[in-house]
Amino acid sequence: MSKSAIIERQAAPLRQQVVKLIREDIVNEALLPGQRLVESALCETYGVSRTVIREALRQLESEHLIRVLPNIGPAVVVLTEHEIKSIYVVRAALEGLAGKLFALNASPRQCEKLLRLRDRLDKEYRHGDIDSREEIKADFYRQLMEGAGNEVLTENLRSIHARIAVFRRYAFIDPERIEPSISELEVIINAAARDHDAEAAAAACEHHILLAGELAIIEYSKRNADILRKV
């Protein structure tokens, strides 16, 4: 956890600033699975009151990033292989629906915009860094959700994405996953935005996420082997 994380007061509510910082520390693995979150230490780290920390922890608990354990208190969540598989099965179904709805509902302008994103994959994903890959993937999802035109779906996917943010980063740092990810995204974009093939777009989205789920299990298990043996 960064010693320079004390936040500056901004227009955003203080609680949201703290939530963002703790979430980033979990995603960046500065806070590890199973690690206790001690209120007094968090207050010192972020320079805020216990009330703000408690509110932030409640929100992160609702996002399933932390759990409150009996006789221990709040700790970073530890996920089993079964739990990760379950999350990715649901994510695959939701993103398959997103691809299908985009193919059916997106306007010509939205399709053109997504096709332009496809053309950015070489520079910003293949030859980019972790930050540029993360940004273009976030842009992809923003556009996919916008074109799908279903706010309930968008809300549910945002919740899932927040929950598995640490896993999504694995694909951005694994060199063996870069080329397959680009190919899978190109298939999704072509099916949804160029061909308007709803079934092909849905299948491509599901395929992409199920492969990502396999990577998530492998990397998470490898990084947290000692912790998982105790679960």
For 173-198, write each residue's pLDDT tens digit.
888 889 999 999 999 999 999 999 99
Q: Give me the count of residues in the chain.
A: 231
**Gap between the Cα atoms of 71 and 87, Å rounded:** 27
The 3-state DSSP class for residue 34 equals coil
pTM of the shown model: 0.84
For 11-39, write each residue's pLDDT tens digit.
358 889 999 999 999 988 899 999 999 99
Domains of the chain with CATH codes: 14-76 (1.10.10.10), 81-225 (1.20.120.530)
Q: What is the pLDDT of residue 76?
A: 95
Check pLDDT > 60 for residue 1: no
Q: What is the pLDDT of residue 166?
A: 81
Contact present, 33 and 77 (Cβ < 8 Å): yes
Q: What is the pLDDT of residue 136?
A: 95
Query: In the chain, pLDDT over 70 holds for what percent of residues?
Result: 93
Per-residue confidence band for 207, with pLDDT thresholds at 50, 70 and 90:
very high
Check pLDDT > 60 for residue 9: no
Residue of 168, 41, 161 whose CA lies nearest to 98:
161
Q: How many CB atoms lie within 10 A of CB 76?
A: 21
Q: What is the pLDDT of residue 229?
A: 66
The 3-state DSSP class for residue 224 equals coil
What does the angle CA 65 – CA 69 – CA 71 come to, to the nearest 5 degrees? 150
Q: What is the mean pLDDT of residues 134-149?
A: 96
**Gap between the Cα atoms of 145 and 12, Å rounded:** 25
| pLDDT winner (highest mean) among 3-7, 83-87, 165-169 | 83-87
Per-residue confidence band for 163, with pLDDT thresholds at 50, 70 and 90:
confident
Q: What is the mean pLDDT of residues 81-91?
A: 94
Contact present, 144 and 102 (Cβ < 8 Å): yes
* Average of per-residue pLDDT values in the chain: 90
